[in-house]
Amino acid sequence: MKIALFLPCYVDQFYPQVGVATLQLLQKLGCDVDFPLSQTCCGQPMANAGFEHLTQGCNDNFVRAFSGYDYVVAPSGSCVLHIKEHLHSTENEAEALRLRHCVYELSEFLTDILKVESLPARFPHRVGMHVSCHGQRGLKLSQMSELNAPGFSKPGALLAMVEGLELIELDRKDECCGFGGTFCVSEEAVSVKMGNDRIADHLRHGAEYIIGGDVSCLMHFEGLLRRQGSTVKVLHLAEILNSE
Amino acid sequence: MKTNIPDHATASVAFNRDESYVDWHDETLWFVRQKRDRAAMALPEWEDLRETASQIKNHVLSNLDGLLEEFERKAQANGITVHWAVDAQEHNQIVLEIMRGAGAKQLVKSKSMLTEECHLNPFLQKHGVEVIDSDLGERIVQLRGEPPSHIVLPAIHLKKKDIGELFHKYLGTEKGATDPQYLTEAARQHLRETFLTRRVALTGINFAIAETGGFVVCTNEGNADMGAHLADVHIASMGFEKIIPKTEHLGVFLRLLARSATGQPITTYCSHFHRARTGQQMHLIIVDNGRSAQLGRPEFRASLKCIRCGACMNTCPVYRRSGGHSYHNAVAGPIGAILAPNLNMRENADLPFASTLCGSCSNVCPVKIDIDKQLYLWRQVLAKEGYISGVKEAGLQVAAKVLASPTLFKWTFRTGRMVMRTMPFVVGNSLNPWFDDREMPTAPKESFRQWWEKIREKANAEEVKNVEAFEKLK
Amino acid sequence: MPSAPTPTSRERILAAIRQNKPSLQPLPERIDWGAVPTNLITPFKTMLQAIGATVVEAADYETVRAHVRETFPDVANIAVTVPELTDLADFSLAVADPHDLELINLAILPGAWGVAENGAIWLTEQEMVHRALPFITQHLALVIHRERLVATMHQAYERIRVDKTGFGAFIAGPSKTADIEQSLVIGAHGARSLVVYLLG
């Protein structure tokens, strides 16, 4: 089973520790992981701004970079959702369609493919889990609060395996953080207010850490927390699951 | 953008100036969302109902012509005069002609988002007809000279203090009085007088039944009934998508509508009109106003399934923190943002961007409109049609070029010159908006790919454990 | 050559629809959802109370009569369309102009069907005599037999012919509004209170 690690471009550049934690976690679980160096980006930044028609080069590059791997795993619900919904290739459409089906967000790869039942992780802290909208409502990583349907949570199931971790309940289970791609700058006022409200929900319930499956949400939180001089930290799910 | 009307982002800045006010607005609407949740969760068959409603509406869109013809035939047999209006102007003209025919100069109107869409009130006023909106929330915003900020809760942006001052000025309530019970009683007295003296009443239509040629109007206050049953002439206006095939389908829609809107098990008054009462005239206006064009856009036609419950507004984290007026359209919120560009792309190009695409709207929608998908698709249409700023497009073209090439990508990140420009949160924009309230992420000593290349090199020479390398990195 | 007649708005709209509509989608086969509880009275009462109505279980019309007299002791201008209770009326509905109903303080009407899932009661023009009556009255009382309860709206519509009369309505509770800061206020434009007499 050949697995390719796919890292969102901003994770590669600004949050390498998330990439390292994802890599180590997968290796710990016995996976043969490669990082194709020719990867760049999923194309979502352009597409969500209305310019999906400019993403063909990006798409073709993605297909070339990840062609032939059994699975593509990324520590990001948002990028994975974009690939699943929009990947096309001018050179090899069959491979693009195959890749759509074998690209996985980290937590769903662990629960659905590796069927992980225990982890050697320890994290003795009170943490709040912010589920990213694309991970949750797009990839259905956990049940959505709007629906009358049985509850479940893939990241939640994994966190339950972490020794000492105390998961707090939030007042609003799955409210958006307000990052939203270019929204975070084009609609700065609302974006910041949404982020601060989301953080306040975590703080009200005594979170020491805000964790999530998408670095984009976390980067938004971190920017706000640091500006406020808060001691609350953000961590990616992979970093918790890889902790010892 | 319309001249003099601020775009959504600009209006949101103003809305967010007083944080305690935004918190109040957000909490108030979240409370409505929670009421909706409780009502939805109390019905085990909730998701089946949504799916059924969605399928009925899909059928309606595919058979609109047939259903409208059947409806017209039955309605005429019921003695209802049926009018057709291609656009807002024609609708308004028909209303005016009916008013003139009745020799009336005053109209009492219950809630109808269609007449907001058609700007009926200013039109009639210009022609010497006085209009009084009888829904309490609509009367409040009418007295303030504002449009409604929400399709179900028209005055949700106002605090009782504002309404107390307004009623003191216009209805003579005591100065400083803010008790909702007292203020509502004042409006009751004021509007009762209106109901008793108006000879023409206009209502909206929630559902028109093709099978029977009748229509259903739902209100909690009873204002539509008070208007219609006391007037000599009843005018009912509907967008043509309000048609449903059969009476039995009302069971599905009435179970969903109020639960989605306010969490009530049903609207207080669901009135079924089929024939005028003796001596009364009943007119019905079927309006297109861009709907047939929307029907012709395959990716957007599902927006015509909307039953105007407002659930997508209550759940929308952006709407709750920007208010209905920031959408500068008769219908605000997520559903407004996918309806408005059909009417005018240039004026409403900002609306599909007033969203994080979080998808909560689609999940609460009782007829399962894929609102978030349509927001994404409208962005694509607006970009292609040239309604997005050239600066943004140029930035994105650079990003697209860089991200399509591994070499360029590596180079730009290495040199650090274009790092920010290719970041998803800054494409096509200056860096400043991020930094206004947020710190920038700090750049680590090396990127993941640099670290990876290093450990791969070392791995060739000797076995190096990733764990150690990570320690070094830290 | 005479020019073709200008198409009417009706023709233009229908033509645009025909050109733009999607291919025919089927109607769903099943539209009736939800379990039917054996006991309908408890949920019906609970719902009515939740939506601001008062429920009185009455063995017979005499009990209703006594309750009305006790609850509305000095009230004048009572209109009644329940044949068994007409003695309670002091306001004649034999008026031509519905505006004359404005003085009515209490209207007592029979309900045709009650819906347990939401507390709604169906009545038609036949029961109302004047369409405006249940709305214009200050207070409303509806009398309904226990055996006229159904579980859901689906079941209600199975039993109703909506076009049998020119007008019919589901009434669920007294008139209400929450347009001022989402504070619930009972008594907007319609009846200020609703009492439901559950007979039998």
**What are A73-90's pLDDT values in tens digits?**
999 999 999 999 999 999
**Predicted pLDDT of residue B1:** 43
Assigned domain for A119 exists:
no
Assign residue A196 the CATH number of its domain.
Answer: 3.40.50
Which of these three, A83, A113, A143, is where a domain ends? A113
**What are B269-301's pLDDT values in tens digits?**
999 999 999 999 999 999 999 999 999 999 999
**Predicted pLDDT of residue B58:** 98
Phi-psi region of B323 (alpha: psi -120 to 50; beta: other; left: phi over 0): left
- Asked whether the beta carbons of residue B55 and residue C34 sit closer than 8 angstroms, the reply is no
Phi-psi region of B251 (alpha: psi -120 to 50; beta: other; left: phi over 0): alpha
Q: Who among C115, C163, C176 is closest to B268 (CB)? A: C176
Q: What are B124's strand-pairing partners?
A: none
Burial class (CB in 10 A: 0-12, 13-18, 19+), B258: buried
Asked if the model's pLDDT at residue C57 lies above 60, the reply is yes
In chain A, which among 65-124 make CB contacts under 8 A with chain B?
A: 65
- Structural element, H or E, at residue C79: strand C78-80
Chain C interface disruption, residue of B51, B56, B268, most C CBs within 10 A? B268
Nearest-by-CA chain A residue for B383: A50
Question: Percent of chain C beyond pLDDT 70?
Answer: 99
Q: Are residues A198 and A96 in the same domain?
A: no
Closest-CA distance of chain B to residue C193, Å: 12
Assigned domain for A25 exists:
yes
Q: Who among B40, B379, B467 is closest to A24 (CB)? A: B467
**What are A92-106's pLDDT values in tens digits?**
999 999 999 999 999
Q: Residue B473 — pLDDT band, cuts 50, 70, 90?
A: low
In chain A, which among 20-39 make CB contacts under 8 A with chain B?
A: 20-21, 23-24, 27, 35, 37-39
Residue, of B423 and A152, whose pLDDT is higher: A152
Assigned domain for A121 exists:
no
Residue, of B474 and C31, whose pLDDT is higher: C31
Query: Domain range holding A18?
Result: 2-113
Q: Are residues A50 and A142 in the same domain?
A: no
> In angstroms, what CA-CA distances link B192 with B187, B235, B419, C101?
8, 19, 65, 12
Identify the architecture of domain C36-199 in CATH.
Answer: 3-Layer(aba) Sandwich (3.40)
- Asked whether the beta carbons of residue C188 and residue B160 sit closer than 8 angstroms, the reply is no
**What are B14-37's pLDDT values in tens digits?**
999 999 999 999 999 999 999 999
User: Which residue segments constitute the domains of chain B, with CATH numbers given?
Assistant: 43-289 (3.40.50.10420), 298-384 (1.10.1060.10), 391-473 (no CATH)
Asked if the model's pLDDT at residue C35 lies above 90, the reply is no
**Predicted pLDDT of residue B210:** 98
ipTM of the complex: 0.97
List chain B residues with CB under 8 Å of C157.
247-248, 250-251
**Predicted pLDDT of residue B462:** 63
**Predicted pLDDT of residue B426:** 46
Phi/psi of residue A233, each to 5°? -110, 155
Assigned domain for A118 exists:
no
**Predicted pLDDT of residue B421:** 45
**What are A17-66's pLDDT values in tens digits?**
999 999 999 999 999 999 999 999 899 988 999 999 999 999 999 999 99
Q: Residue B168 — pLDDT band, cuts 50, 70, 90?
A: very high
Q: Who among A38, A172, A192 is closest to B406 (CB)? A: A38
Alpha-helical runs (H) found in C72-163: 125-128, 133-136, 153-159
Instruction: Take residue B122 and report the two structure tokens written for it.
Output: 């200013």
Which of these three, A113, A138, A159, is where a domain ends? A113
Average pLDDT, chain B: 92
> In angstroms, what CA-CA distances link A199 with A127, A145, A177, A195, C109?
12, 19, 8, 6, 55
Closest-CA distance of chain B to residue C196, Å: 14
Asked if the model's pLDDT at residue B435 lies above 70, the reply is yes
Instruction: Take residue C124 and report the two structure tokens written for it.
Output: 């038609």
Q: Residue B429 — pLDDT band, cuts 50, 70, 90?
A: very low
Q: Who among B317, B422, B439 is closest to A178 (CB)? A: B317
Which of these three, A113, A142, A158, is where a domain ends? A113
- Asked whether the beta carbons of residue C117 and residue B255 sit closer than 8 angstroms, the reply is yes
**What are B378-419's pLDDT values in tens digits?**
999 999 999 987 667 777 777 777 788 887 777 666 555 345
Asked if the model's pLDDT at residue A206 lies above 80, the reply is yes
Assigned domain for A15 exists:
yes
Nearest-by-CA chain B residue for A53: B380
**What are B66-121's pLDDT values in tens digits?**
999 999 999 999 999 999 999 999 999 999 999 999 999 999 999 999 999 999 99
Q: Are residues A130 and A199 in the same domain?
A: yes
Q: Residue B470 — pLDDT band, cuts 50, 70, 90?
A: low
CB atoms within 10 A of CB B414: 12
B42: three-class secondary structure by DSSP: coil
- Asked whether the beta carbons of residue B250 and residue C157 sit closer than 8 angstroms, the reply is yes
CB atoms within 10 A of CB B377: 18
**Measured distance CA(C149)–CA(C88) in Å, rounded:** 25
**What are A119-157's pLDDT values in tens digits?**
999 999 999 999 999 999 999 999 999 999 999 999 999
Assigned domain for A99 exists:
yes
Closest-CA distance of chain B to residue A29, Å: 14
**Predicted pLDDT of residue B299:** 97
Residue, of B328 and B473, whose pLDDT is higher: B328
Domain boundaries, chain C: 36-199
Mean pLDDT of B329-353: 96
Average pLDDT, chain C: 96
Q: Are residues A102 and A137 in the same domain?
A: no
Assigned domain for A8 exists:
yes
Question: Percent of chain A beyond pLDDT 70?
Answer: 100
Q: Who among A24, A41, A224 is closest to B438 (CB)? A: A224
Asked if the model's pLDDT at residue B427 lies above 50, the reply is no
Q: Are residues A149 and A211 in the same domain?
A: yes
Q: Are residues A139 and A59 in the same domain?
A: no
CB-based contacts of B27, cutoff 8 Å, min separation 6: none
**What are B207-262's pLDDT values in tens digits?**
999 999 999 999 999 999 999 999 999 999 999 999 999 999 999 999 999 999 99
Q: Are residues A107 and A136 in the same domain?
A: no
In chain B, which among 190-249 make CB contacts under 8 A with chain C?
A: 191-192, 195-196, 209, 212-214, 220-223, 225-226, 228-230, 240, 245, 247-249
Q: Are residues A11 and A96 in the same domain?
A: yes
List chain B residues with CB under 8 Å of A47.
376, 380
Does the CB of A222 have a partner CB in chain B at under 8 Å? yes
Domain count, chain A: 2
Q: Are residues A160 and A65 in the same domain?
A: no
Assigned domain for A90 exists:
yes
Q: Residue B471 — pLDDT band, cuts 50, 70, 90?
A: low
